[in-house]
Amino acid sequence: MNNEGNGIDHTILFALLEKTSGLFKKEAALVRITSANVMIVGDIHGNLRALEFILQMRRKLECNDIVFLGDYVDRGKNSVAVLSQLLELKLRETQNIILLRGNHETLEMNNRYGFYEEVRDYDLFLAANRTFQEMPIAALINNSIFCVHGGIPEQAEIEEISKDDSFPYLWNDPSNSNGMTPSSRGLRPQCFGKDVFNEFMERNHLSLMIRAHTALFEGYAWWFDKRLLSLFSTPEYTGKNNVAAFSTLISRELSIHKFGRSENDSYSLICNNF
């Protein structure tokens, strides 16, 4: 087995995975957060520059807490470095850093879309996926904002979310069609309409849902009368010219921050929208 690749010491990553796995096991499938200053981040997909810029903005905006909505690996060139940095951050700030599971934190996906090829160590690859299985599935901010990677199933109670039965929360997408409809992602994923969404929000006494999972040219999109916010935090995704976005909730004010490549070839904020 290759013990070191792409500048990453596999022994160190093994240790990070083992330590954080224990932390994730202690976290419920639904993590509850009470925070006056929180940042919410969408897909990173191995983009180390984007992650470092986001963490820089976290310090500048003085956000105590940060919720990552999943998809840390695959597609990009630095999945291992992104994962290592996030796990180190989780160990340093266990209560303030929330790492939700995305659909690429599953073996069937990251075996095909770049993570395994970058790791090049089957034992390490399996260790990573065992740790992914322990990650929480959703977060509830201030008892009113529901955060998840993908979407929701039909007639769901947030108290019943399970790490072992998480597929709809990792895979489903919003749709302009009512009810539950087929997805272009495959046979098992589904799309949920405004009627399903409204019933879910009312049943669980929620005001806003924030999710990721969908590549967006402008970095964000609103659904369902601005009660669902979709974020994508990877600029220039797979060679495209898209910008990225993250959101902040500071003193009860929700903001959307777009960023992309600046003239000096580094990432910078483009605008702050709501």
Beta strands 97-99 and 65-68, pairing class: parallel
User: Which tokens sit at 58?
Assistant: 């976290």
Beta strands 253-261 and 267-273, pairing class: antiparallel
3-state SS, 139-187, equals EEECCCEEEECCCCCCCCCHHHCCCCCCHHHHHCEECCCCCEEEECCEE
Report which residue type is found at 46: G
Q: Write phi, then psi, for 89 (nearest 5 degrees).
A: -65, -40
Q: Which residues are catalytic?
A: 104
